Structure formats: structure tokens, C-alpha cells
Structure 1
Amino acid sequence: MPNPFEVKVNGEWTFQMSSETLDHYDQARLTPETFHVIHDAHSFTVRILEADFYQKTYKVSVDGKPYSVSISNPLDQLISEMGFELGASKNVSQIEAPMPGLILDIPVSEGDEVKEGDALLVLEAMKMENVILSPRDGVIGKIAVEKGAAVDKKSLLIEFK
């Protein structure tokens, strides 16, 4: 299954989906938040109640029954397996490298005030550019790396004040 996404529903059920899996669903948008879906000869009305795109969590109703859904792409899954959870805590005091790589860009400076979700740096790893986002609002205390530096997994990148 190419590029599988891990989908968790209500924290109880976990399954893999890919673009190929989605091809088996007939779907039509009724409104910006509402879809009509047919799968295996069953018809469903799906409404998006809430969406947090940064955390990739959604509250949806399927035929009026509410569900909490979280979606992890392959990179999210790899980062989690490597022991680095983005946005895991609002009390994060430092950012460490989730994997070995090369620092391509650091769009923030020491003393800058950042909001949750702001880009802190770009880390190239496994031929992919990964934007490391701020897990919380705060002030940048120390930037422990420089643009162009190679870093190991768990290397200190940024500290918050």
C-alpha cells in the first residue's frame, strides 16, 4: 500500500488508508462541511464538525453519530516511532532533532516571539524537507544550530525562554 495513512477513530480503532483505498469510496460534496459517501453499497452522510489541521484531528458525524478522528501521514508515523512527538506538550522547553539531517533554514532568531504552529527551522532528512513547527507559543531563548549544520537524532536545536 503506497503512502499509507494511519487513521485512529475515537482512540479505539486504528486502520491504514491510502489513496488507493479512497478510490473505493464514491463521495460527493454537498456543502463545504458535508459529504455524501457510498461504500460497499451503503450510503452515509458525513459532516465535518471541527478540524484542527495542525494537529490533524477532526470531529465528524456519520449519519448523526459523532466520531473523533486523527490522521498520521508516513512522516508523522516515522517521527513517532523515533520518539519525537510534535505538539505533545504545551510545556516543551526545547526542540530536539527527530532524526539525523541537515539544517536548511532557520527563519527565527533568538528573542523572537513565536506562536504555536510557526516554522522554527527546516531539516532535510531522507531527501525530504521537514519543517519543524513550534509546539507552543513562546520566546526563542537559544538557537543551538546554524544553517548548513549536520545534526544527529536528539541533538538540541532550539530552547525556549
Structure 2
Amino acid sequence: MSIGYKVNVNDTFHFDLEKKSISQLDAVSVEKNKFHILHENTPYKAEIISNNFHQKSYTVKVNSNTYTVVISNPLDILIKEMGFETAGSKQVNAIKAPMPGLILEISVVVGQSVKENDNLIILGAMKMENSFLSPRDGVIKSISVSMGDAVDKGQLLIEFE
């Protein structure tokens, strides 16, 4: 028996799924993030409502019930047993200029809540416009530049709370 994944549902139920059983799952995509699943002659409607790819965490709606599902593969389990955490990336608290340039646009204000990948600022450098997207969800603590400012490499642009 080759365990492919450990699945934790709602921090209550824990399952070991074999690679073979996963490959035999009868699931058909009907729309983006929506599936029709047939298991032991019983049909299910499933929808992925949200996901956090780095944490391998998903919110899934099956029929009319919503579940939080966390999936771990053997490498994730081994890394955790060794005392490390996967996807424990460094928290980014500041955006600094990677090169000298000119601030062309600022899309946020102090105190504004932003989501990961929201546009924050555009820096013109070397005849190109460089958009800086938010590296994480958060709140803007300070903006150290204004539109039209010339900045040096490494200069603080935006800080998160």
C-alpha cells in the first residue's frame, strides 16, 4: 500500500489516500472549479470555493456542505517531522526599489487594506514601467515616496503593518 497523501478535513477527520484510489476517482469538470463526482454510484456536486496553494489548503463545497481541506504529501510530512514547516515563507513587510527610477503611479493610500497581487506602485526605470504587486494580504502602514519622486536602489517605497 503506497500512501500518496494525508488529507485533513475541518481539523477533525484524517484520511490516508493511496495514489491508486485517487486515479480511480470518477470526477468530471463541469465549469471552472466545479466538478461532478461519482463515488460508489452516488453523485456529488463539488466546488473549490477558495485555495491557498502555498499552504495546500482548500475550501470545498460538496453538495451543500462546506469543508476546509488540507493536503500533505510524503515530503511535506517528512519535513514537518524534521521540525520544519513547508510554505513558511518570510513575511514581507516592506517594498524597496530594486533599481533607481522615477515613481510614475501610486495605487494605494496609508491605511488601505490590500490583497496579495494588488497593484501598489509603478516605477519607471530604464525606459520601462515596473509594476509592484502586493506580496501578501495586509494593510499599508506608510508610503515613503510621492508621484514624480526619483528614487535610489534600495530606497523604501511602501511599508506594511
Judge conservation of contact 2:3–2:16 (CA < 8 Å) in 1.
no
Deviations, residues 119-139 of structure 1 (Å, cap 9, x unaligned): xxxxxxxxxxxxxxxxx98xx
Residue matched to 2:57: 57
SS in 1 for 2:31: coil
Deviation at 1:86, TM superposition (A): 2.5
- Cα RMSD between the aligned structures? 2.5
Judge conservation of contact 2:28–2:35 (CA < 8 Å) in 1.
yes
Judge conservation of contact 1:4–1:73 (CA < 8 Å) in 2.
yes
Q: Which amino acid letter does the alignment assign opposite residue 38 of structure 1?
A: L
Judge conservation of contact 1:60–1:69 (CA < 8 Å) in 2.
yes
Q: What is the CA–CA distance in structure 2 between the aligned matches of 1:23 and 1:49, rounded to whole Å?
A: 23
Large movers: runs of 4+ above 3 Å? 87-91
Deviation at 1:89, TM superposition (A): 8.3
Residue matched to 1:38: 38
Q: Which amino acid letter does the alignment assign opposite residue 52 of structure 1?
A: N
The answer to whether 1:47 aligns with 2:34 is no
TM-score w.r.t. the length of structure 2 is 0.53
What does 1:96-111 correspond to in 2, within 5 Å? none
Q: Which amino acid letter does the alignment assign opposite residue 36 of structure 2?
A: H
Deviation at 1:32, TM superposition (A): 1.2
SS in 2 for 1:77: helix
Q: Which runs of 5+ in 2 are unaligned?
A: 92-97, 99-115, 117-134, 137-161
Q: Which amino acid letter does the alignment assign opposite residue 41 of structure 1?
A: N
Identical-residue share of aligned pairs (%): 36
Residue matched to 1:121: none
Deviations, residues 104-161 of structure 1 (Å, cap 9, x unaligned): xxxxxxxx9xxx9xxxxxxxxxxxxxxxxxxx98xxxxxxxxxxxxxxxxxxxxxxxx
CA separation of 1:86 and 1:22: change in aligned 2, threshold 3 A: closer
- Equivalent pairs counted in the alignment come to 96
Greater C-alpha Rg: 2
The answer to whether 1:68 aligns with 2:68 is yes
TM-score w.r.t. the length of structure 1 is 0.53
Q: What is the CA–CA distance in structure 2 between the aligned matches of 1:9 and 1:53, rounded to whole Å?
A: 16
